[in-house]
């Protein structure tokens, strides 16, 4: 025990440097890349935004790193999706609320009656709400409201950024509706590896079929693949899609199954589902990601 | 250093100590893998506990889980005693079955609770400081720190109380039984402690790290000492060192803390495995090389003893006659010269009095195999040790 204390004290002395770098700004921690992008747009240079998850990380399987501890310790506000998207992290956030820390589950603020129910997810709601731009706008409003409460002197800046961002989202909404209009109604069938796109389908009139979503079991079985390949042939679907945070193995199995029945189906491209693309690229922002997804889907299915 | 960082290191260090103590005995009893088995097979205990209390934080869960751990050990022993399968096979038979029963119970009854396998098996050290224990509204520290602290105190008290019994039943079951300690009770007591430690620790740090902290420090210490007390202290030292060093590796790399600690444990073992003074790879290699040289030396001395004719004893002819490569004959000649066993006169090698005596003694030893004769030679030569 004495050794232990000695070692601890030695290490404590090694690292006595103060690591806070808040320079008076609000420290905001976010989970998924979508929410990080949103808060960066609204907070702008008036807050410090720290995202926990990188691009390509499946939020269900996220593992905290050492650096995340410091981010969480210094956080004043934490924005997360909730609806059990972030797994164990959600439980931790729920216990964290205090005078100096405010965790906000953006997904929980939405009207539950409009959400899609799901047997598969623990909360009984499908958590992939950001694929309906209307919900993402509500996220934006909530973020603005919370930031303004926490940092009243910048309220005007946040409001201005919100207005600008909402206008961009309206623009995005218009653009993708126009793009989708070019695709005949009967061709609007989206086949992917898991069921992240239900809100997308509901908002833009796509029939969405997820390979893992057909059965409620977590792994796609042989029968799922067989049924779905029959479905693809029957509806003459031209392309199926891989998701950035789900291994492409299952979708390739599906493609092979269709092929074995003498038909052809392309892999239409990789869609961003649970995370955005790398920062700096067009798909690294929510708006860029959405446009990329819609263009990929429409071009492949035409 | 923020208080969260200190708390993480403190939790990790306490887990390391709490694991090193039962781990040392498990390694000595060749039962190291039982901790891996326990970490999985306790799942049904946790699930049943949850069904009864409907509360994931109830102490009953830990108790039932530990009980399932003991059931695992009993089943493993029972299967092993049949003599039909070996111990590792018995472990491999028992824990997947128990684990699967847990998975099925979750799938059937608790699908919409956070009782999934990830949540149970993958504790997250990084998040431990944020799960606080509140006693009537006052924050008294992270919950994991208290859970581990209590387990550690129980472990230390039990260790001090039963050290003699544990030691005896580990090294000599028969003697322990004849002196009136039941090795069976000590055995199950040890297993219960391991079981409780595993359960308590893996909610805080995750199962893989618990298994690593139980086995790696003890296995490393075992390479350095055969004294039980020294082995215990070394295990604790290695465990705590890896916990804290691992944390700072994670800090530098911005990586998973549990992963970094496990990696440090692995490196530490590798270092000791290579460089340990008597059991290390390099020490063994050096010893074997010495022994080969000494065998050659003996062969060479015998050759000299058996041959009087000069041409057989000429330095340049050694290669041909005993069929050595040049390098080795030089090493052997040097060694023999250094020990004053031969003298070289005009390139003719002959035995000295000492060399002659040594050779005679060595032959006697080889023939009679009696240790007493070579006691005084052991200090100079590896060959006659062990």
Q: Copy the structure tokens of residue A134.
A: 């209307």
- B184 and B120 co-located in one domain: yes
Q: Is residue B382 part of a domain?
A: no
Number of separate domains in chain A? 2
Domain-ending residue, one of A155, A175, A195: A175
The mean pLDDT of B106-131, rounded to a whole number, is 65
In a domain, B385, yes or no: no
In the predicted model, is pLDDT for residue B205 greater than 60?
Answer: yes
Residues forming a β-bridge with A190: A208
Q: 3-state SS string over A155-220? A: HHHHHHHHHHHHHHHHHHHHHHHHHHHCCCHHHCEEEECCCCCHHHHHHHCCEEEEHHHHCCCCCC
Helix %, strand %, coil % of chain B (to 5): 75, 5, 20
In this prediction, residues A167-186 reach a mean pLDDT of 94
Could you say which of B4, B251, B260 has the minimum Cβ distance to residue A73? B4
d(CA B216, CA A212) in angstroms, rounded, equals 40
Q: Where is average pLDDT lowest: A111-115, B263-267, B273-277, B374-378? A: B374-378
Q: Of the candidates B4, B118, B254, which has its C-beta nearest A65's C-beta? A: B254
- Region B26-53: mean pLDDT is 84
Residue B121: pLDDT over 60: no
Phi first, then psi: what are they for A207, rounded to 5°? -85, 125
Residue A20: pLDDT band (50, 70, 90) is very low
Percentage above 90 pLDDT, chain A? 42
What is the CATH classification number for the domain harbouring B105?
1.10.3470.10
- Domain extent at residue B30: 3-277
CATH number of the domain enclosing A89:
3.40.50.1980
Mark whether B298 and B184 lie in a shared domain.
no
Q: Judge if B328 and B298 occupy the same domain.
A: yes
- Across the interface, of B5, B129, B244, the residue whose CB is closest to A7 is B244
**Residues B267 and B290 occupy one common structural domain:** no
What does the pLDDT read at residue A218? 47
Do the domain assignments include residue A2?
A: no
- Which of B277, B301, B323 represents a domain boundary (last residue)? B277
A142 token code pair: 């909530």
Residue-wise pLDDT for B8-17, tens only, equals 999 999 999 9
Q: What count of Cα atoms within 13 Å lies in the side-chain half-sphere of residue A272?
A: 28
Residues A144 and A200 occupy one common structural domain: no
The answer on A131 and A94 residing in a single domain is yes
Residue of chain B minimizing CA distance to A16: B1
pLDDT at A23: 64
**Range of A21-35, B60-74, B205-219, B291-305 with top mean pLDDT:** B205-219
- Contact at CB, B126 and A66, closer than 8 angstroms: yes
- Please check whether residue A127 lies inside any domain of the structure: yes
Question: Residue B350: is its pLDDT beyond 70?
Answer: yes
Ranges A71-80, B63-72, B327-336, most confident? A71-80
pTM score, whole prediction:
0.77
In a domain, B227, yes or no: yes
Q: Over the Cα atoms of chain A, what is R_g?
A: 22
Establish how many alpha carbons lie within 13 A of residue B335's alpha carbon, considering only the half-sphere containing its beta carbon. Answer: 19
Does B127 or A27 have the greater pLDDT score? A27
In this complex, is the C-beta atom of A217 within 8 Å of any C-beta atom belonging to chain B? no
Q: Domain check: are B176 and B215 in the same one?
A: yes
Please identify, among B277, B312, B335, the residue that sits at the C-terminal boundary of a domain: B277
Q: Do A66 and B260 touch (CB under 8 A)?
A: yes
Residue B320, domain member (yes or no): yes
| CA B209 from centre of chain | 15
Are the CB atoms for A294 and A179 separated by under 8 Å?
yes
Q: What is the mean pLDDT of residues A184-205?
A: 88
Residue A3 lies in a domain: no
In a domain, B333, yes or no: yes
Q: Choose one of A175, A207, A232: the last residue of a domain.
A: A175
Complex ipTM: 0.71
In a domain, B355, yes or no: yes
- pLDDT over 80 (residue B115): no
Res. B224: pLDDT tops 90 = yes
Contact criterion met (CB below 8 Å) for A174 and A289: no
Q: Are residues B249 and B113 in the same domain?
A: yes
Residue B323 is given by DSSP the state: I
Query: Is residue B64 located within the same domain as residue B40?
Result: yes
Residues B287 and B245 reside in one and the same domain: no
Answer whether residue A1 shows pLDDT above 80: no
A277 shares a domain with A203:
yes
Task: Choose between A300 and B135: higher pLDDT.
Answer: A300
Count interface pairs A-B at CB distance under 8 A. 91
- Structure confidence by residue, pLDDT tens digits, B286-335: 888 888 877 878 888 888 787 777 777 777 776 666 666 666 677 777 77
Phi, psi for A196 (deg, rounded to 5): -85, -15
**In this predicted structure, what is the pLDDT of residue B196?**
81
A87 reaches B (C-beta below 8 A): yes
> Does residue B243 share a domain with residue B359?
no
| Separation in Å, CA A36 to CA A29, A160, A216, B248 | 8, 18, 30, 27
For A209-236, write each residue's pLDDT tens digit: 877 644 333 455 677 788 888 889 988 8
In a domain, B383, yes or no: no
User: A258 in a domain, yes or no?
Assistant: yes
Same domain, residue pair A157 and A217: no
- Both B256 and B327 in one domain: the answer is no
How far B114 CA sits from the closest chain A CA (Å)?
7
**Residue A21, pLDDT above cutoff 50:** no
What is the domain range of residue A33? 9-175
Assign residue B350 the CATH number of its domain. Answer: 1.10.10.10
Q: Is the pLDDT of residue A13 over 60?
A: no
Per residue in A85-131, pLDDT (tens digit) is 887 788 788 878 776 788 999 998 898 888 887 655 545 688 889 99
Question: Pick from A118, A142, A175: which residue ends a domain?
Answer: A175
Are residues B312 and B178 part of one domain?
no
**Element spanning B139, H or E:** strand B138-142
Interface of A with B in 236-275 (CB under 8 A): none
Domain count, chain B: 2
Best of B6, B18, B108, B112 to disrupt the A interface (most A CBs within 10 Å) is: B112
Give the pLDDT confidence score for residue B131 in this predicted structure: 79
3-class DSSP string for A237-296: CCEEEEECCCCCHHHHHHHHHHHHCCCCCEEEEEECCCCCCCCCCHHHCHHHHHHHHHHH
Cβ of B240 within 8 Å of Cβ of A72? The answer is: no
Judgement on whether residues B216 and B323 belong to the same structural domain of the protein: no
- Measure the CA–CA gap between A101 and A206, rounded to whole angstroms: 40
CB contact under 8 A, A87 and B118: yes
**Whether pLDDT at B244 is above 80:** yes
Give the other-Cβ count within 10 Å of B281's Cβ. 12
Which has the higher per-residue pLDDT, A143 or B30?
A: A143
Q: Look at residue A16 and give its three-state secondary structure.
A: coil
Q: Across the interface, do A66 and B250 touch by the CB < 8 Å criterion?
A: yes
Last residue of a domain, one of B254, B277, B300: B277
Specify if B95 maps to a domain: yes
Calculate ∠ Cα B247-B131-B128, nearest 5°: 15
Of residues B94 and B57, more confidence is placed in B94
The stretch A165-182 carries a mean pLDDT of 95
- pLDDT of res. A29: 95
In this prediction, residue A142 carries a pLDDT of 95
Are residues A250 and A124 part of one domain? no
Find the mean pLDDT for residues B373-386: 56
Shared domain check, A144 and A15: yes
């Amino acid at each position: 025990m004495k050794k232990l204390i000695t070692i601890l004290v030695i290490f404590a002395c090694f690292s006595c440097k103060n690591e806070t770098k808040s320079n008076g700004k609000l420290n905001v921690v976010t989970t998924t890349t979508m929410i990080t992008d949103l808060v960066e747009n609204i907070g702008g240079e008036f807050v410090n935004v720290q995202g926990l998850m990188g691009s390509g990380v499946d939020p269900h399987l996220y593992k905290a790193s050492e650096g995340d501890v410091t981010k969480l310790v210094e956080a004043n506000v934490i924005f997360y999706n909730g609806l059990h998207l972030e797994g164990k992290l959600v439980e931790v956030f729920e216990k964290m609320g205090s005078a100096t820390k405010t965790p906000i589950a953006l997904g929980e603020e939405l009207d539950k009656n409009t959400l899609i129910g799901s047997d598969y997810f623990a909360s009984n709601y499908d958590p992939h709400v950001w694929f309906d731009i209307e919900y993402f706008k509500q996220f934006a409003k909530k973020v603005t409201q919370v930031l303004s409460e926490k940092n009243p002197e910048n309220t005007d800046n946040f409001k201005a950024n919100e207005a600008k961002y909402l206008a961009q989202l309206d623009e995005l909404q218009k653009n993708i509706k126009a793009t989708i209009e070019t695709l005949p109604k009967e061709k609007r069938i989206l086949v992917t590896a898991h069921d992240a796109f239900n809100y997308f389908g509901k908002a833009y009139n796509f029939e969405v079929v997820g390979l893992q979503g057909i059965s409620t079991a977590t792994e796609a079985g042989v029968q799922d693949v067989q049924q779905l390949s029959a479905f693809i042939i029957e509806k003459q679907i031209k392309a199926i899609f891989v998701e950035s945070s789900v291994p492409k193995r299952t979708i390739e199995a599906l493609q092979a199954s269709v092929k074995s029945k003498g038909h052809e189906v392309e892999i239409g491209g990789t869609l961003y589902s649970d995370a955005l693309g790398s920062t700096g690229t067009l798909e690294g922002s929510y708006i860029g990601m959405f446009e990329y997804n819609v263009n990929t889907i429409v071009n492949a299915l035409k | 250093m923020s208080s969260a960082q200190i708390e993480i290191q403190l939790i990790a260090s306490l887990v390391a100590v709490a694991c090193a103590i039962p781990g040392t005995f498990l390694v000595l009893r060749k039962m190291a893998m039982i901790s891996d088995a326990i970490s999985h097979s306790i799942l049904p205990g946790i699930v049943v506990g949850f069904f009864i209390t409907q509360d994931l934080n109830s102490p009953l869960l830990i108790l039932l889980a530990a009980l399932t751990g003991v059931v695992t050990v009993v089943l493993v022993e029972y299967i092993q005693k049949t003599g039909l399968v070996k111990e590792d096979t018995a472990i491999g038979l028992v824990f997947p079955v128990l684990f699967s029963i847990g998975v099925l119970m979750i799938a059937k009854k608790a699908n919409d609770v956070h009782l999934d396998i990830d949540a149970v098996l993958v504790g997250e050290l990084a998040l431990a400081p944020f799960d606080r224990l509140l006693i009537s509204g006052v924050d008294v520290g992270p919950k994991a720190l208290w859970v581990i602290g209590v387990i550690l105190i129980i472990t230390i008290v039990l260790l001090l109380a039963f050290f003699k019994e544990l030691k005896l039943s580990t090294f000599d079951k028969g003697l322990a039984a004849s002196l009136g300690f039941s090795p069976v009770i000590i055995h199950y007591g040890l297993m219960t402690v391991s079981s409780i430690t595993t359960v308590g620790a893996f909610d805080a740090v995750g199962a893989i790290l618990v298994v690593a902290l139980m086995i790696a420090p003890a296995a490393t210490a075992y390479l350095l000492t055969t004294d039980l007390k020294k082995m215990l202290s070394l295990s604790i030292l290695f465990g705590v060192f890896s916990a804290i060093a691992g944390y700072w590796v994670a800090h530098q790399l911005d990586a998973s803390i549990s992963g970094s600690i496990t990696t440090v444990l692995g490196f530490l073992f590798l270092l000791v495995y290579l460089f340990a003074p008597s059991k290390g790879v390099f020490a063994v290699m050096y010893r074997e090389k010495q022994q080969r040289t000494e065998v050659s030396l003996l062969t060479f001395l015998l050759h000299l003893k058996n041959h009087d004719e000069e041409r057989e004893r000429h330095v340049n002819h050694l290669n041909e006659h005993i069929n050595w490569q040049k390098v080795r004959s030089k090493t052997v000649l040097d060694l023999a010269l250094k020990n004053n066993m031969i003298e070289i006169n005009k390139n003719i090698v002959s035995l000295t009095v000492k060399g002659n005596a040594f050779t005679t003694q060595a032959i006697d030893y080889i023939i009679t195999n009696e240790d007493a004769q070579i006691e005084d030679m052991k200090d100079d030569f590896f060959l006659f040790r062990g």
